[in-house]
């Protein structure tokens, strides 16, 4: 069953977006380049590809609207901290006329994938990710789409939180820059040919 999100006529303006793409991260220069901001960097890259800057909005996010093969796509980077991402996402859902969780795509870092690995996923669990936990709590569903960017397990006894809040070394940063481009490709493929085709391409690579 498709869950319909409630929204008022005042919150919905104009043409609904075909897809809402949200890149997770933490706001501020202190967190730029950290592993936890991998999702936010992909959405910023998408905005750059389509020559549309992300701008501040009252939905607690930096946002842009672009056309990908004639489809209207809303791009957003929450300006809340990661564990409060759902506050922004629920506002964005209302703002962009989203009435189906499969029209929401969350791009995020993933400890359970090796560095540089990329997976496209429809629904599923939270894997201990605080951003996903907040989004699920606010939307009351976890049936949204995800693009998962591998940042690897923390070394030794380092905690997961410390690992994702640190900037990677040069070699790892290079790998993450490459996978960011691939993640942007995956988002565009989801828009143009659908999530199943994107999963087939990106989830079965050697």
Which CATH number goes with the domain that contains 66? 3.40.50.1470
Q: Is 96 a catalytic residue?
A: no
Q: Taking a C-beta distance cutoff of 8 angstroms, is the pair 19, 69 a contact?
A: no
pLDDT value, residue 13 = 56
Region class of 156: left (phi > 0), else alpha (psi between -120 and 50), else beta? left
Residue 18, phi then psi, degrees to nearest 5: -70, -35
Q: Is 69 inside any structural domain?
A: yes
Decide: 114 and 152 in contact? Cβ < 8 Å. Answer: yes
**pLDDT band at residue 10 under the 50/70/90 scheme:** very low
**63 is a domain residue:** yes
pLDDT tier at 14, thresholds 50, 70, 90: low
In the chain, the number of structural domains is 1
| Structure tokens given for 201 | 């391409």
In-domain check, residue 48:
yes
Q: To the nearest 10°, report the CA torsion of 35, 31, 105, 184.
A: -70
16-57 confidence digits (pLDDT tens): 999 999 999 999 999 999 999 999 999 999 999 999 999 999
pLDDT-derived band at 146, boundaries 50, 70, 90: very high
Instruction: For residue range 149-164, list pLDDT tens digits in order.
Output: 999 988 878 888 889 9
Domain that holds residue 182: 19-202
Asked if the structure places residue 59 within a domain, the reply is yes
Q: Is 193 within a domain?
A: yes
To the question of pTM greater than 0.95 for the whole model, the response is no
Q: Is residue 155 part of a domain?
A: yes
Mean pLDDT score, 118-144? 94
Q: Is residue 2 part of a domain?
A: no
Distances 132 to 23, 90, 141, 175, 193 between C-alpha atoms, Å: 11, 12, 10, 24, 25
Q: How confident is the model at residue 137 (pLDDT cuts 50, 70, 90)?
A: very high
Name the catalytic one among 36, 94, 96, 129. Answer: 36
Cα 202 to Cα 194: distance, rounded to the nearest angstrom: 12
Q: Based on the number of CB atoms within 10 Å of its own CB, is 141 exposed (0-12), middle (13-18) or buried (19 or more)?
A: middle
């Amino acid at each position: 069953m498709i869950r319909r999100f409630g929204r008022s006529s005042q919150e919905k303006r104009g043409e609904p977006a075909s897809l809402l793409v949200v890149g997770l991260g933490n706001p501020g220069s202190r967190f730029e380049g950290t592993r936890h901001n991998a999702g936010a960097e992909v959405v910023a890259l998408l905005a750059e590809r389509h020559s549309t800057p992300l701008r501040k909005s009252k939905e607690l996010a930096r946002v842009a609207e672009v056309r990908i093969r004639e489809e209207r796509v809303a791009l957003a980077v929450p300006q809340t901290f990661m564990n409060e991402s759902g506050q922004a996402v629920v506002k964005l859902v209302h703002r962009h006329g989203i009435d189906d969780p499969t029209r929401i795509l969350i791009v995020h870092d993933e400890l359970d994938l090796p560095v540089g690995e990329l997976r496209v996923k429809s629904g599923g669990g939270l894997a201990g990710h605080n951003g996903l936990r907040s989004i699920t709590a606010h939307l009351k569903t976890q049936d949204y789409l995800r693009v998962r960017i591998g940042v690897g397990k923390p070394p030794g006894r380092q905690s997961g939180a410390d690992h994702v809040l640190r900037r990677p070394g040069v070699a790892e940063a290079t790998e993450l820059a490459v996978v960011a481009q691939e993640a942007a490709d995956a988002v565009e493929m989801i828009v143009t040919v659908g999530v199943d085709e994107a999963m087939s391409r990106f989830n079965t690579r050697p």
